[in-house]
Structure 1
Amino acid sequence: MSALTVREEGAESDWTRPGVFRVADGVFRIPLPLPNDGLRAVNVYAIVDDGGLTMIDSGWALAESQELLGRAIAALDCGFPDIRRFLVTHVHRDHYTQAIAIRQTYGNQVALSIDERTSIDNANDRQGFRRHLNQLVRCDAGPVLEMFRKMDRPPPEPNLWEYPDEWIDGRTDIKLAERALVAIPTPGHTRGHLIFRDDSNVLTFTGDHVLPHITPSIGFEAAPSDMPLADYLDSLKLVREMPDTAMLPAHGPAAASVHARVDELLDHHDRRLGLSFEAIKSGATTAYQAAGILKWTRRERSLVDMDPFNQMLAVLETAAHLDVLVAQRRLTSVDTDGVRHYQMA
């Protein structure tokens, strides 16, 4: 494979195309591939710091991804031993597992929010995905469950759900050799999601919390909080109250303003709350029934037209919206035989 060269951000119209893109002084965006995923790529960011690297996120532990990351940091005159620390925004596979795989060979340091510990524990007892399916039971999503039961089980993977070297507990100052970051909890996408602000350089590494083209899934984890959407909306408002910066997201190109996208996301969820309310008003009584009434993605797709995994995400997100409506006393809910039913307040 040919060597990679450093280019300025904006040099490519396709943000997923492999490369090394300078987004700010000493900061480089590196898109890495994802397997069978509509997102196609995840951005990791390399911060060049006194001859070494600090990485924001790491990518999915795939041979192709690790090879591409190695070529990318070589364009910065570095190798894997020069990565001093991975600062991971959250514990999803496309952000965390490659850090662990590289650490197993090179001994790099990995940092993660302490609020992700439950997810790692669930992954290690191999019950995590089963708990996702149990959440579908509460949503009355029998057809989605049946599709998963008919699917072939994937072969076992190497265990990459090891603990990090450092648990980040709450808002934390992170000192690098030549700059300072602040880790800020932004729960919602996961319980332990973090963003990393570089106020001196007017940058925010937003992970999956604020994405330029899509809305992140809400509470997709084995043990979500009681109100993941309420957590997410509160986290968006928290970011909106901070000074605006450039946005360096995990999926999509860099953008000039975090605030502009936060405003769009808040408007989006306000609309989805209204549509979810109308779905119950029209006669739906469960999250699965409401999800079947709603349209999904920018293409306005029906629930049944999506693959099983995205149907699961859609149903769980609908449940999150309906639970917020209950908290707002616009709806009421009652659990009967393990299924949550909603009605007008």
Structure 2
Amino acid sequence: MEPCDDDGSRHWAEPGLYTVAPGVYRIPLPLPNDALRAVNVYAVTDGDSLTLVDSGWALDEARDRLAAALAGLGAGLGDIGQFLITHVHRDHYTLAVALRRESGASIALGRGERAALRATAAPDEHPMEDQIGLLRRAGGTPVIDALVALFDGRRPPTDRDLWEQPDEWLDPGGRTVLPGRTLDVVHTPGHTAGHVVFADHAANLLFSGDHVLPHITPSIGFHPAPAEQPLRDFLDSLRLLRSLPDMRMLPAHGPVTPSVHARVDELLTHHDHRLDEIGGTVAQGNTTAYEVALRLTWTRRERTLDELDPFNQMLAVLETQSHLDLLTLQNRLTTKDEDDLRHYTVP
């Protein structure tokens, strides 16, 4: 597989090896039954050493495609020296664990992911236990029932053996990844508590993970170790990136785009409008997160909640709740808990 220019002439998820900048290559790897279609893994190399930003899902097809792409660089899976992981979701983390067992490559992960990794790997914990509790408080019993029906009473698959500890916990600051090449580790909580992005200021590149995506907004509120105010954290992280010099955006899902700032501005505006919309829905007498979510539309296709599959219904209700909780923090709403339900009202 020979490298080709990442010029937008092919769909971003099409398999291949794409040159992003000198020494930086984008490799889309497949996802199973996922609307996202692919996850971008980025190879950073000087011809001798090889670092990967994110790794992909531990699937045979993903492993084979990664091997084929690296062959185009004259390298193999055993030449990967380290994985820098933006966050601890399976499409970013698990293939790194599988490959580390073969070659000994090191894995580095944001320190804020410790609690989530511990919860995901716990042998006796239901993989969505915290989310089910949040759904119940949100009045989302119909969503819980739909999830139970989806899995027919079985526990969702977890791949628990692939949730091993990293070799290194990343803290904010500069980190040398290749001789003469340093990336700035920036903590960007929101999508997950320990999400990080990697800024290559010398090359004007930002490996943005799932924090900033070109066409969609990342899920907020679905995390094995839920944060108290995930939407506040996400918006603060967006503003942090806005305060840095603008860079080309290398996202985990979607094409490379020329400006981080432009997309951050769009996301901040979107969430401002969404907060106003959700506050207005509460003012109409809808008091639980589930009731509010039923009256909103979802995805770019503006689907109703009932038109989503159970998993995405869960994401929608939890995201609605994160907006309601932020409105409460801003004193635009008040809350009252009754019979294990949280109700929101306009003061």
TM-score by length of 1: 0.96
**1:37 maps to 2:34:** yes
The offset of 1:19, in angstroms, is 0.4
Percent identity reads 52
**Matches of 2:186 and 2:333 in 1, distance apart?**
32
The offset of 1:155, in angstroms, is 5.6
Written as runs of structure 1 = structure 2, the 5 A alignment for 1:119-268 is: 119-125=116-122, 126-152=125-151, 153=154, 154=156, 157=159, 159-268=161-270
**Matches of 1:47 and 1:256 in 2, distance apart?**
19
Opposite residue 279 of structure 1, the aligned amino acid is T
Once the two structures are superposed, residues 239-261 of structure 1 have per-residue CA deviations (whole angstroms, 9 ceiling, x without a partner) of: 00000000000000001000000
**8 Å CA contact 1:171, 1:185 repeated in 2:** no
Opposite residue 17 of structure 1, the aligned amino acid is E
**Matches of 1:15 and 1:255 in 2, distance apart?**
11
**Matches of 2:338 and 2:225 in 1, distance apart?**
21
**Matches of 1:337 and 1:176 in 2, distance apart?**
56
Aligned counterpart in structure 2 of residue 25 of structure 1, from 22, 26, 38: 22
Aligned counterpart in structure 1 of residue 114 of structure 2, from 117, 121, 125: 117
Tell me which residue corresponds to 1:307: 309
The offset of 1:47, in angstroms, is 0.4
Q: Which blocks of at least 5 consecutive residues in structure 1 are unaligned? A: none
SS in 2 for 1:299: coil
Range with bigger deviation, 208-217 or 117-126: 117-126
The offset of 1:195, in angstroms, is 0.3
Change (3 A) 1:145 1:158: closer
**8 Å CA contact 2:230, 2:322 repeated in 1:** yes
Change (3 A) 1:150 1:176: same
Tell me which residue corresponds to 2:327: 325
SS in 1 for 2:293: helix
Opposite residue 97 of structure 1, the aligned amino acid is T
SS in 2 for 1:116: helix
The offset of 1:52, in angstroms, is 2.0
Opposite residue 194 of structure 2, the aligned amino acid is G
Range with bigger deviation, 100-109 or 5-14: 5-14
Aligned counterpart in structure 2 of residue 14 of structure 1, from 11, 27, 51: 11
Opposite residue 297 of structure 1, the aligned amino acid is T
**1:341 maps to 2:340:** no
Once the two structures are superposed, residues 50-92 of structure 1 have per-residue CA deviations (whole angstroms, 9 ceiling, x without a partner) of: 5121100000110100111011111111011211110000001
**Matches of 1:147 and 1:331 in 2, distance apart?**
29
Change (3 A) 1:156 1:141: closer
SS in 2 for 1:30: strand
Size of the aligned set, in residue pairs, is: 342
Change (3 A) 1:160 1:17: same
Opposite residue 128 of structure 1, the aligned amino acid is P
**1:67 maps to 2:64:** yes
**Matches of 2:163 and 2:16 in 1, distance apart?**
28
TM-score by length of 2: 0.96
Once the two structures are superposed, residues 27-65 of structure 1 have per-residue CA deviations (whole angstroms, 9 ceiling, x without a partner) of: 000000001111010000000135121100000110100
The offset of 1:283, in angstroms, is 1.2
Tell me which residue corresponds to 2:82: 85
Change (3 A) 1:302 1:251: same
Q: Which blocks of at least 5 consecutive residues in structure 2 are unaligned? A: none
**Matches of 1:256 and 1:15 in 2, distance apart?**
15
SS in 2 for 1:311: helix
Change (3 A) 1:120 1:158: closer
The offset of 1:130, in angstroms, is 1.8
Change (3 A) 1:336 1:172: farther
Tell me which residue corresponds to 2:48: 51
